């Protein structure tokens, strides 16, 4: 649960309460340092013909969403060679000599495009991965979020105040669109490329008991006694669901990556999670469960904020524009390269986390990472925008999210947002190369 769960998770995970990664990129203030486990990484192997979404069936007839990826192999090639050979645009004269990117959680598959730009030949240290950005002539420094950033400080704010844990001010940060809207006056950002077309945040359920595709199905399940287990009702996607008619008293707060409620709930618990994390964790890596789950993306429930979006401080756009014109297309290409051939970076992510460089509680197995890539592709979490381009924003969709969230923030007494915010204030497609997209 990327921006969603991370605040509570940093505490709960640190206490050993969480056995699995979580995710959620929903916010309304949740996009804060030390908060928000996202999913986990992806690894290697070749996704199944159906995108890796379906494997064997269980006796009850439900299909597993994920394939067993426990046989995912570690990368054994030359570390960093692909990045050096592939990312050759000269950035030396237009970008900072060291370009610093603040992530919104610990190392995981959702961040892989940026590790891809360095490859596995970079330098690992506590909360930091850095190295030459291909053959571009500059270095890239990637900062962990969560415990690697300031507790309670929104990632949008780090672009203005810096990351005191790392002792630097990032040039760019992953900021969920929810928070970009919420802090649009206090910490205004410009979102410059959408690495993900859909948010991995989901609601997971027992497919033997429920068939959930939309909000009406959720309301019907609640009428039959189901509850929704989430981190907090203050998350904006939860507030959206309440506004769509899901009863507020149907939500149970406190989810921090723990498994017991879902496992022991006799199918009555609909659980917050990340499609690229919890699904595989429950289906394949949880001995007490290990059976099919069902899920619906919050994107498909009508809540279509772009997640973990690369952003800059709005007042630095003119300064950074020459860099962005050349850097953003590299990000687009790196995201495509990663989901096409993830082995090198999945191995890097697993090693980084095995060395406790993010946090002792955060592990991303090769199998989990491989399954994450499968889900990214089969669920079209990574995909082209409204045309054939990966990374561009649909301005109508952005404006719809603004129009949805501003009344929620206002009704909840939240502040820091621009009341007349427009999509063009928040996002830009100026730096996206329209010729770069995923092949269908």
- pLDDT for the residue numbered 5: 45
Instruction: Determine, yes or no, domain membership for 57.
Output: no
- pLDDT for the residue numbered 267: 96
Same domain, 183 and 323: yes
Instruction: Determine, yes or no, domain membership for 262.
Output: yes
Same domain, 145 and 280: no
Domain boundary pick from 252, 271, 301: 301
- pLDDT for the residue numbered 28: 54
Say if residues 359 and 223 touch (Cβ distance below 8 Å): no
Better pLDDT: 291 or 57: 291
- pLDDT for the residue numbered 307: 96
Better pLDDT: 319 or 19: 319
Instruction: Determine, yes or no, domain membership for 400.
Output: yes
pLDDT over threshold 90, residue 18: no
pLDDT over threshold 60, residue 396: yes
- Overall average pLDDT of the 110-116 stretch: 97
Question: pTM of the full predicted structure?
Answer: 0.89
Least confident of 43-57, 269-283, 309-323, 351-365: 43-57
Indicate the average pLDDT of the chain.
89
pLDDT over threshold 90, residue 6: no
- Overall average pLDDT of the 390-415 stretch: 96
pLDDT per position as a tens digit, 142-201:
999 999 999 889 999 999 999 999 999 999 999 999 999 999 999 999 999 999 999 999
Same domain, 147 and 207: no
Same domain, 149 and 132: yes
Same domain, 254 and 186: no
Residue 440 pLDDT class (50, 70, 90 cuts): low
pLDDT over threshold 60, residue 62: yes
Please state, for a pLDDT cut of 70, what percent of the chain lies above it: 86
Instruction: Determine, yes or no, domain membership for 329.
Output: yes
Instruction: Determine, yes or no, domain membership for 45.
Output: no
Same domain, 83 and 184: yes
Q: How many domains does the chain have?
A: 2
- Overall average pLDDT of the 8-22 stretch: 36
- pLDDT for the residue numbered 61: 65
CATH number at residue 268: 3.40.190
Same domain, 261 and 313: no
- Overall average pLDDT of the 12-20 stretch: 33
Residue 48 pLDDT class (50, 70, 90 cuts): very low
pLDDT per position as a tens digit, 240-255:
999 999 999 999 999 9
- Which residue from 69, 144, 72 is spatially nearest to 108, judged by alpha carbons? 144
Residue 407 pLDDT class (50, 70, 90 cuts): very high
Please state, for a pLDDT cut of 90, what percent of the chain lies above it: 84
- pLDDT for the residue numbered 317: 98
Same domain, 102 and 238: no
Same domain, 164 and 176: yes
Instruction: Determine, yes or no, domain membership for 80.
Output: yes
pLDDT over threshold 90, residue 56: no
Domain boundary pick from 301, 321, 337: 301
Most confident of 14-18, 343-347, 360-364: 343-347
Same domain, 226 and 139: no
Same domain, 293 and 192: no
Instruction: Determine, yes or no, domain membership for 49.
Output: no
- pLDDT for the residue numbered 31: 56
Domain boundary pick from 301, 336, 364: 301
Instruction: Determine, yes or no, domain membership for 175.
Output: yes
CATH number at residue 128: 3.40.190.10
Domain carrying residue 220: 201-301
Same domain, 113 and 141: yes
């Amino acid at each position: 649960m990327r921006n969603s769960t991370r605040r509570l998770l940093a505490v709960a995970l640190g206490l050993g309460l969480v056995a699995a990664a979580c995710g959620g990129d929903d916010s309304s203030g949740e996009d804060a340092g030390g908060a928000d486990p996202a999913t986990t990484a992806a690894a290697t192997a070749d996704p199944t013909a159906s995108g890796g979404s379906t494997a064997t069936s269980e006796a009850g007839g439900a299909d597993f969403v994920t394939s067993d990826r426990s046989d995912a192999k570690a990368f054994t090639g030359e570390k960093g060679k692909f990045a050096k050979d592939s990312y050759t645009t000269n950035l030396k004269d237009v970008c900072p000599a060291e370009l610093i990117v603040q992530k919104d959680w610990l190392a995981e598959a959702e961040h892989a495009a940026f590790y891809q730009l360095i490859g596995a030949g970079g330098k690992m240290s506590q909360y930091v991965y850095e190295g030459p950005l291909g053959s571009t002539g500059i270095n890239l420094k990637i900062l962990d979020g969560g415990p690697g950033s300031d507790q309670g400080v929104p990632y949008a704010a780090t672009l203005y105040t810096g990351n005191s844990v790392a002792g630097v001010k990032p040039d760019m940060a992953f900021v969920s669109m929810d928070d970009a809207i919420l802090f649009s006056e206090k910490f205004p950002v410009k979102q410059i490329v959408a690495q993900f077309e859909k948010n991995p945040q989901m609601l997971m359920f027992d497919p033997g008991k429920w068939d959930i595709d939309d909000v009406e199905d959720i309301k019907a399940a609640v009428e039959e006694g189901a509850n929704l287990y989430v981190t907090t009702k203050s998350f904006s996607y939860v507030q959206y669901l309440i506004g769509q008619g899901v009863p507020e008293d149907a939500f149970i707060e406190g989810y921090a990556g723990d498994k017991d409620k879902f496992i022991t709930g006799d199918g009555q618990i609909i659980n917050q999670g990340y499609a690229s994390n919890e699904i595989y964790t429950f289906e394949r890596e949880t001995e007490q469960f290990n059976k099919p789950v069902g899920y619906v993306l919050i994107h498909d429930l009508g809540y279509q904020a772009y997640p973990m979006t690369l952003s800059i401080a709005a007042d630095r756009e003119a300064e950074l524009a020459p860099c962005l014109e050349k850097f953003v297309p590299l990000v687009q290409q790196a995201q495509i390269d990663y989901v096409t051939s993830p082995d090198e970076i999945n191995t890097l992510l697993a090693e980084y986390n095995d060395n406790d460089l993010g946090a002792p509680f955060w592990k991303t197995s090769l199998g989990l990472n491989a399954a994450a890539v499968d889900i990214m592709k089969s669920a079209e979490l990574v995909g082209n925008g409204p045309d054939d381009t990966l990374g561009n924003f649909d301005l109508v969709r952005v404006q719809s999210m603004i129009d949805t969230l501003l009344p929620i923030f206002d009704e909840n007494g939240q502040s820091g947002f621009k009341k007349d915010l427009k999509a063009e204030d928040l996002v830009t497609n100026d730096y996206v190369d329209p010729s770069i997209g995923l092949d269908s």
